[in-house]
Structure 1
């Protein structure tokens, strides 16, 4: 009868916990003003209405340079920020386990043996006593109002937010490595152009010196030719410094000590399409890791309102203890040695000085802050995509015009050298046109780099790069 009574009580308590209500609001995604198409698309692109996004492509398909692929693979394995994000996921998983455990009863076992002897007194002999005990303790706070279930819901959402945070770091890391590698290849190309220009100018200087010795020109032309040589020569140390520092930066992204970085394709050989499909803005809400992370944080804040409101209601706790107690070990597990207790408590807050009400208001304010942050994150994502769509198209247009400028400056330099050799003009004309040509070549490299960087940032803005 005793066992039946205990079982029935536990079963009744379990039913109370299962059938209890869950206070607090259930989560509903806030309304978001989503545009039909991205601002920044050309009318032709907007008319196509392509649903597939450039971000759906794997990063190893977007970046065709084999050496760049190896660098990204290494970074995804060794980067410290990404590894720390992995440990934060483990922390969130452990926190979820701790929070979820509060929904269940705790059962513990204990055993004790006490042997005690009192000293002999004048009128009393010495007394020796033995007490042996083995028992089980049962404690359970019944989650009748859903306090622990709401807390578990919040912890689960925090875990999901942490996982999306790791994916955001992956997206950022892929983009950073690609951008740093393209920047390095641009510096390499600028250094190559500068060294070629220096060699050409040195040859021109030697020719001018020969002409001076022959009396065909003046010393002023030599000094002007020297200016061209010294200008190109002064650029080389600066570029070499930037290359070494850029290699150090890439090494740190890879989780390595500063070291040289192997190269693959040149900057001008990096394949990239002239236009990329952006997809639908509504799909961005499901794809961008930062938006998903913000929504999971909102879900957690929403669940915390239920946790705060549950404090208004009574807390129901069940306790039980069963075991054996005897003065002799030989009779410890006999029938008469058995003992048990069972009880329950109910605690209802009556006066807390406004603490419970303030806790609810705090949770509600934090939830409203999370809503605003979620909506702000979405608008920021739309702006980022639009900015990069415009940037990619305009950098292409700028690069085309810069190429025309290089071609024109190159021909002007050729003609000015011919005119100088024919004695038609002074060396000042050669100096001016050669300087313009050198500057135009370096600017063209920067334009080519900006076009690739805009592509990388567009891929990131659309939420590409995190999928394994």
Structure 2
């Protein structure tokens, strides 16, 4: 708004121009400009670093090519697991947490409509009828109408409008639009969180199935070993202690195999909740197979700012706080209200709509706070502080996002290297068992050495299976850190969140 003072002769043209300027209004308060992220997030890095230096030239998990590719849409399909795909589709429809965030978004859209309504006049109609009789003992009063009866019927229409001279209403609309966009980003962030949790629990179940198979195979091997020691004991070749050791080894493995059912059931029940199903009637098929994670396109670091819904939400929160500053500044300026009242009023219904029964009044009113003991200035300072806090929160969100990506990249890469070494250890342990069993059968070594070899093999196999699961869940965490298949172009625009809600969107959920 210009501060230049122009001296003109008061005439009709000038008055009309001034009225037009007042009605069009101006916007007070700072214009919003998204602040740059922290310097670390602006570094022109070509690609994410894949892993610590000591692992860069070794075999193992690698990022997808080309380096600037991005995940799109249904990111979980990259794992090529039909059952996981089906569960994710159920989650997107039936998850109650996602429904809650969706309704929060609908509420935010409704608040935009409420704010927009303040741009327009309000009209109210209030028909009334009153029959009255005055007291018979009011002779000495100035308004005496002793014992008279009267009837008054009225049909008034009141219209009032407060022009948005200083942008208070428009800033309120912008604030609610930004809040609605923030709510939409929160919805996508919650959806991604739930989807990632489902994928994590799914691979945890696959890992439990793999462990179960290892233990089941070990039980069968230990049963055969027990039969061998019993046969040797019965023929006098072996001793009783070997039989007891074989029995103890078998019993321990059987106990471990039973215990695995606890964790599997808990993961299964957690998935049931995610897909909106009753845990008591939900089950996932047993499949003792854990694959290696597929190559994941991670893209450029600079693209991360456009791919994380939590970063988008944090940025929209800043925009909303900036609009609040504009609303607070508008309080320093006078407010103008244009009002008009008119209608019909008569003592009898017969003459209510006669021309002579009409009445009307019209006129503007201006109000301005002349003293508030610093309230308005303190309010502005409050919202400036809120905005500055939101800027710091935004930059922290960006830094945390980069940390999470780097953490997940390091986890997947290093776990893949560890798994290669662990699988080699499993092969060595298998050969250890084979050689030690042969030495026991020929009477060279006692059975306790066989037990030691079997324990070593089982431990190595369990470690390898656990590493497989960790590697898969780390890849899910990497995808989540990258924002899944979402990007900022999917965020609704201010115009879209301002659209009128459809009937289906306002239906009460049964």
Q: TM-score, normalised by structure 2?
A: 0.84
User: In the alignment, is the contact (CA less than 8 A) between 1:115 and 1:130 conserved in 2?
Assistant: yes
Please give the alpha-carbon distance, in whole angstroms, between the structure 2 residues aligned to 1:413 and 1:261: 36
Tell me how far 1:331 sits from its aligned partner. 2.2
Correspondence list, 1:214-233, <5 A:
214-233=235-254
For residue 420 of structure 1, the aligned residue among 399, 422, 440 is 440
When residues 410 and 328 of structure 1 are mapped into structure 2, their CA distance, relative to the original with a 3 A threshold, is same
Structure 2 residue 68 is the aligned partner of structure 1 residue 51: yes
Structure 2 residue 433 is the aligned partner of structure 1 residue 410: no
SS of 1:137's equivalent in the other structure is strand
Structure 2 residue 50 is the aligned partner of structure 1 residue 41: yes
Q: Deviations over 1:26-77 (max 9, x none)?
A: 1101012323335432679899872222x33522532321111111111111
Please give the alpha-carbon distance, in whole angstroms, between the structure 1 residues aligned to 2:163 and 2:106: 28
User: In the alignment, is the contact (CA less than 8 A) between 1:65 and 1:265 conserved in 2?
Assistant: no
Paired position in structure 1 for 2:220: 199
Tell me how far 1:264 sits from its aligned partner. 7.0
When residues 442 and 13 of structure 1 are mapped into structure 2, their CA distance, relative to the original with a 3 A threshold, is farther
For residue 231 of structure 2, the aligned residue among 205, 210, 214 is 210
SS of 2:279's equivalent in the other structure is coil
Please give the alpha-carbon distance, in whole angstroms, between the structure 2 residues aligned to 1:62 and 1:204: 43
Paired position in structure 2 for 1:392: 412
Correspondence list, 1:297-336, <5 A:
297-336=317-356
When residues 72 and 362 of structure 1 are mapped into structure 2, their CA distance, relative to the original with a 3 A threshold, is same
When residues 447 and 47 of structure 1 are mapped into structure 2, their CA distance, relative to the original with a 3 A threshold, is closer
| Structure 2: stretches of 5+ with no match in the other structure | 1-15, 140-144, 491-510
Please give the alpha-carbon distance, in whole angstroms, between the structure 2 residues aligned to 1:285 and 1:342: 54
For residue 363 of structure 1, the aligned residue among 383, 393, 399 is 383
Please give the alpha-carbon distance, in whole angstroms, between the structure 2 residues aligned to 1:264 and 1:202: 24
When residues 176 and 14 of structure 1 are mapped into structure 2, their CA distance, relative to the original with a 3 A threshold, is farther
Paired position in structure 2 for 1:135: 156
Tell me how far 1:422 sits from its aligned partner. 1.2
When residues 100 and 337 of structure 1 are mapped into structure 2, their CA distance, relative to the original with a 3 A threshold, is same
Tell me how far 1:374 sits from its aligned partner. 0.6
SS of 1:414's equivalent in the other structure is helix
Tell me how far 1:335 sits from its aligned partner. 2.1
Paired position in structure 2 for 1:353: 373
Tell me how far 1:451 sits from its aligned partner. 1.3
User: In the alignment, is the contact (CA less than 8 A) between 1:174 and 1:465 conserved in 2?
Assistant: no
Please give the alpha-carbon distance, in whole angstroms, between the structure 2 residues aligned to 1:13 and 1:265: 78
Q: How many aligned residue pairs are there?
A: 456
Structure 2 residue 102 is the aligned partner of structure 1 residue 82: no
Please give the alpha-carbon distance, in whole angstroms, between the structure 1 residues aligned to 2:431 and 2:63: 40
Paired position in structure 2 for 1:27: 32
For residue 72 of structure 1, the aligned residue among 66, 85, 88 is 88
SS of 2:84's equivalent in the other structure is helix
User: In the alignment, is the contact (CA less than 8 A) between 1:298 and 1:367 conserved in 2?
Assistant: yes
SS of 1:56's equivalent in the other structure is coil
User: In the alignment, is the contact (CA less than 8 A) between 1:68 and 1:264 conserved in 2?
Assistant: no
Paired position in structure 2 for 1:453: 473
Please give the alpha-carbon distance, in whole angstroms, between the structure 1 residues aligned to 2:362 and 2:378: 36
In terms of mean alpha carbon deviation, does 37-46 or 73-82 score higher? 37-46
Structure 2 residue 458 is the aligned partner of structure 1 residue 438: yes
Tell me how far 1:240 sits from its aligned partner. 1.1
Please give the alpha-carbon distance, in whole angstroms, between the structure 1 residues aligned to 2:23 and 2:63: 53
SS of 1:449's equivalent in the other structure is helix
When residues 368 and 114 of structure 1 are mapped into structure 2, their CA distance, relative to the original with a 3 A threshold, is same
When residues 128 and 92 of structure 1 are mapped into structure 2, their CA distance, relative to the original with a 3 A threshold, is same
Say which structure is richer in helix: 1
Structure 2 residue 118 is the aligned partner of structure 1 residue 102: yes
When residues 14 and 445 of structure 1 are mapped into structure 2, their CA distance, relative to the original with a 3 A threshold, is farther
Please give the alpha-carbon distance, in whole angstroms, between the structure 2 residues aligned to 1:407 and 1:57: 40
Please give the alpha-carbon distance, in whole angstroms, between the structure 2 residues aligned to 1:267 and 1:319: 75
User: In the alignment, is the contact (CA less than 8 A) between 2:268 and 2:284 conserved in 1?
Assistant: no
| Structure 1: stretches of 5+ with no match in the other structure | 1-10
For residue 312 of structure 2, the aligned residue among 292, 295, 319 is 292
CA RMSD of aligned residues (A): 2.5
